[in-house]
Chains A and B, each alone.
Chain A
Amino acid sequence: MAVGGGARPVGLAGVLKAQTGIEGLDEVTDGGLPRARTTLLCGGPGCGKTLLSLQFLVRGALDDGEPGVFVAFEESAAELTQNVVSLGWDLDDLQQRGLLAIDHIRIAEGRIQETGDWDLDGLFIRLGSAIDSVGAKRVVLDTVEVLFGALGNEAVLRRELRRLFRWLNDRGMTAIVTGERGEGTLSRHGLEEYVSDCVILLDHRVRDQISTRRLRVIKYRGSHHGPDEYPFLIDRSGFSVLPVSSMGLAHAASRERVSTGVSQLDAMFDGGGVYRGTSVLVSGTAGSGKTTLAARFLEAGCERGERGLLLAFEESPAQIIRNMASVGIDLQRQLDAGVLRICAARPAAYGLETHLARVDQAIEQFAPMNIVIDPLSSLDGEDYELKSVLSRLVDQCKSGGITAVMTTLVSGRIEGAGGLGISSLIDSWIDVSNVELDGERNRAINVLKSRGMGHSNQVREFLITSDGVQIRDVYAGERVVLMGSARRSQEARDRAAATKQAVALESQRRRLAQRRAALEAQIAALRAQLEAETIELSSEIDAAERRELQVDQDRTSLAAARRDLGDAPGGAIDKATG
């Protein structure tokens, strides 16, 4: 109790807490409101003080077995009961079951005459008997400041309120006291001076005609608490503060791939599509096919049996269904099958935080595997605000393993989307752009980035036909990139040129054959000539040789003849005669 406020870790003594059961609030307060202490809940009119405190009692009664007392200074029990019927809370039933006591204290208009000293024992007694009637553990006083209007002696009233809060704490009551926000003070009558354990401020601001609700824990003695302003939402399921449990960066990283629904596009992502649970941005100029691409992604998911959620900020569901049907994407079938849900709202209908809170709620309720936000760029807000909202959304999807595809409109080239400052938040970025050439516009698609995988660096042509989405290689050659009919005509020209070339080649081939034939004929003729000449010459050579041999023989026989006549050895004679 002696520990100062601020964001320090849970004190050594450890502040005991009573969980509120309000989505997100227990996270922000690190477990709930301080047990057996009084919490001041302040805010302007209509910002949800009554609802939050009533929900605290209802959840306490139903979830934690802690009955509660609601002291209403402004609304009657019947009014309160009526107001929360739409939230599914049956206050009559809770009262009959002894889980809730509502005491409406009507303070008359106008000032009551005062003479001399008084105290608030009347209130103490009423409160005490209400607490005893249900064995209450939780008490709400909404809003005790009304007393300031009715009872003039402020000094006495302050003393009595201080005594009241102490008395509640002594009785072990976890209490909420509501207070109207004042000019420059948290509550009009400075209740924060008496309630020093926990102060929560609700804010309901309107900017550009759009209301945004936020909650901030201003102080929480002895306990850690979230220091920021958190958006909250009041809707059919009551009060919810945007969960912040996923604010860390500790998401599991799946290796599983998810198809984009377009096989050629999957191929550009290293052949297998994007990682499950990542965020994909599809940026593009007007009419470049962002919605179609995103819708196809959802449809493909639905076909695999994965639930898809489409959050549309520009078109009505009927319009989206019709438009997508015209390009062969049958969303109606998936809606009928219950695997697709479309939530459409005008961006201007709520503030950014409210949109986020609604997205959050839709995710919670429908538990989709894939979501599409179309388009992100129509959400209006300050840059820093947009970025914070987006980062929370991305965090939330990641912690839930949800693959998110967000479209964003960029004017001109992609630098526009970079200016959004969101590049760092997203894992894969597909850019679709219109390329104007030769009097027509064509769609070009490329993958700007994809974390954790090699991806294509090629610009491809993106075709939207009545049969769906297709991606074609563009004509890339001769230092130009061509698409559409330019690509087709270039391809035709290329084909003609190729044919021409083939013909030329053929004729050259023929010429070569002819030349070869001619030369070969020549070779044959020369060879024949050579042959003839060879024959002629060799017969002459033969004759000459024969002649020479004859001469030799003649000479030999002449020599022999001479030896016979003279001193020739006998051997020689033998040889010659033999």
Chain B
Amino acid sequence: MTAVPGSDQVGEADRFMLRLYVAGQTPKSLAAFANLRKICETHLAGRYEIEVIDLLERPQLARGDEIVAIPTLVRKLPQPITKVIGDLSDTERVLVGLQLIAKAGAQR
């Protein structure tokens, strides 16, 4: 899987650099990627970039972002780095994890 560029109409500061760590093309990984695309198109249209890293191909990259669980979504930019794990099926939690909305429901 390769990077998926969004449009570049916006400034660098508002850009979301996202990384999705997966291990092979498992149902969980595929679901996570699909869910992430949908959320980004809805909430970050034109200002996001997704890099998908398959640890089966590049295991050494797991170290950099301290990846333990799979799938893990890492927001590299804007700072600070945040992480969301799982198949990203709960949109609200993903938005909270990406700090696009405040912890509205205050879910644990």
Contacts and interface: CB of A to CB of B under 8 A. Distances in A.
Interface in B83-108: 83-90, 93-94, 96-97, 108
Contacts of B32: 116
A48 B63 CA distance: 27
A125 B93 contact: no
Of B59, B72, B82, B97, most A-chain CB atoms within 10 Å: B59
Nearest first, the 8 closest Cβ-Cβ pairs linking A and B are: A113-B97, A116-B87, A116-B89, A115-B90, A121-B70, A122-B67, A121-B23, A116-B86
A116 B56 CA distance: 22
A118 B28 contact: yes
B87 A115 contact: yes
Contact of B90 (A103, A116, A118, A147): A116
A226 interface: no
A44 interface: no
A112 B83 contact: yes
Contacts of B88: 115-116
Contact of A118 (B62, B87, B108): B87
Interface of B: 21, 23, 28, 31-32, 55-56, 59-60, 62-63, 66-72, 82-90, 93-94, 96-97, 108
A454 B72 CA distance: 82
Contacts of B108: 111, 152
A115 B94 contact: yes
Nearest to A123: B68
B83 A122 contact: no
A129 B66 contact: no
Contacts of A98: none
Interface string A207-232: 00000000000000000000000000
Given A118-B85, A126-B62, A113 B93 contact: yes
B65 to A, nearest CB: 9
B59 to A, nearest CB: 4
Given A115-B89, A116-B89, A119-B28, A125 B55 contact: yes
A108 B72 CA distance: 13
Given A107-B68, A108-B66, A114 B84 contact: yes
Contacts of A122: 21, 23, 55, 62, 67-70, 72
Contacts of A126: 59, 62-63, 67-68
Contacts of A105: 66, 68
A545 B67 CA distance: 163
Interface string A91-113: 00000000000010111100111
Interface of A: 103, 105-108, 111-126, 128-129, 147, 151-152
B62 A125 contact: yes
Nearest to A151: B69
Contacts of A147: 68
A124 B68 CA distance: 8
B85 A114 contact: yes
Contacts of A108: 66, 83
A114 B55 contact: no
8 contacts: A112-B69, A113-B85, A115-B87, A115-B93, A119-B28, A119-B70, A121-B23, A129-B59
Nearest to A122: B67
A118 B21 CA distance: 11
Nearest to B70: A121
Contacts of A120: 68-70
A118 B67 contact: no
B71 A118 contact: yes
Of A105, A111, A120, A122, most B-chain CB atoms within 10 Å: A122
B66 A107 contact: yes
A129 B87 contact: no
A152 B63 CA distance: 21
Contacts of A114: 84-86, 93
A98 B108 CA distance: 43
Contacts of A125: 23, 55-56, 59, 62
